Amino acid sequence: MKLTDDDIRYIEYLQGQLLQDDWEPIFDAQKWKSWTADNVDRIRILAEHTLGSNPESLTEYLEFYSSFEPRTKYEVPATKPIFEPILEEVQKAASEIGIKLTRPVVLFSSTDISATPAARPTSTEHLLFAGPGTYAFCNYWGKSLTAVTMALAPSIGFKRIETQDDLDAAFRMDPRGLILAARLALHYAAFGTLIGFGEVQQPAIYTAYRIQLVDAMETFAIAHEYAHFVAEENLVEFSGALEPARNQALELFCDQLGIAIGRECGNATDNYLKFAGIGALVSFRAIQLCESVRQFLFASIPELMKDKKLGGSSGSHPSPEERIENIKLYLYNHTAPDQRQELEQFVEEYDRILSRISAIVTMAVASVQAPGNSHGP
């Protein structure tokens, strides 16, 4: 669709609102434009790392980059190649289950450094903002969980994780995924983002699984925002400014619809992680862990956090725990009886792993004392 100059000004205004001052250089579209022109070879290497070696998606990705034409002053070239295909898949899956939007969805770079994309419906189109905050979060957590998953089979064989002991045995043999989780949680707690976390090298055999998991996480993130547009067009009780309680209900609705759409995407792309809602589960457990580490930093090392605000759920969003319970309930109640047990076991096993990671990282962080607070002899 053709956007008018007024539309673009409004989009820029919204991007400006999502932007924190220190982060402006990261979103400078003109700098990115000259960078992409000068770094074609580097982009190819990055693309191979992100996408594996699927030649079709690789060509598409490189074309996106080489034709990068920023529409606003805040734009990151990776926004389109990463999120446009996901948005298309989500749209297709939604229409597959009988959901169609009247207004078009247009994708722009989010300038919000946090993990979540943003949906801003207008009377003519739906604005979807997604960007590096989201893909950095999904990619790094995808790497952590991939490393944990890959460590399981060599240490305990192909049995289900039934207890904490099974898992701890794996962590003792290969703690790389767990250690990465701890670093990610601390980084996010301190900076509110995973943009700029730095390189994490992993063996090439991890790539296939990681791509599936990251795809599941990003698909859920986009499907959830898409659900906001569906609500905006169809459900009067959820439109306009909402009271906190009503807004929480809206978020839970969007999680469920996001899961329903994600499942359809999982079927279409043969990705069981997507089908089983694992993208949502990993995202919410990771956010929950980051929040508890952040609260701990505020309480115990206030000098480190003095210029920062304690964000977290202000009442407008349900807690991660509520959101996880909500999606599990939805998943289990909307699975055919012959598949339900298998799905439930899979999800619960995954959640046992995630919860154990959270417990260990939280214990580790809580046991570190700030220098001034130590109770020495």
**Interaction site with Zn ion (CB under 5 A):** 251, 254
Q: How far is the CB of 111 from Zn ion (least distance, A)?
A: 18
Q: Are strands 105-109 and 118-121 parallel, antiparallel or unpaired?
A: unpaired
- Of the pair 58, 249, the CB lying nearest Zn ion is at 249
- Of the pair 166, 251, the CB lying nearest Zn ion is at 251
Q: How far is CA 108 from CA 182, 215, 254, 356, 363, in A?
A: 31, 19, 20, 36, 39
- Of the pair 143, 228, the CB lying nearest Zn ion is at 228
Q: Do residues 105 and 213 touch, judged by C-beta distance below 8 A?
A: no
Report the phi/psi class of residue 332: left, alpha or beta, with left for phi > 0 and alpha for psi in -120 to 50: alpha
Q: How far is the CB of 228 from Zn ion (least distance, A)?
A: 6
Task: Reduce the DSSP state of residue 71 to 3 states and report it.
Answer: coil
- Of the pair 32, 226, the CB lying nearest Zn ion is at 226
Q: How far is the CB of 130 from Zn ion (least distance, A)?
A: 13
Q: Do residues 374 and 182 touch, judged by C-beta distance below 8 A?
A: no
Q: How far is the CB of 114 from Zn ion (least distance, A)?
A: 13
- Of the pair 121, 192, the CB lying nearest Zn ion is at 121
Q: How far is CA 181 from CA 6, 138, 177, 353, 362, in A?
A: 43, 12, 6, 12, 11
Q: How far is the CB of 313 from Zn ion (least distance, A)?
A: 12
Q: How many CA atoms lie within 13 A of 372 on its CB side?
A: 5
Q: Which of 314, 242, 326 is nearest to 284 (CA)?
A: 326
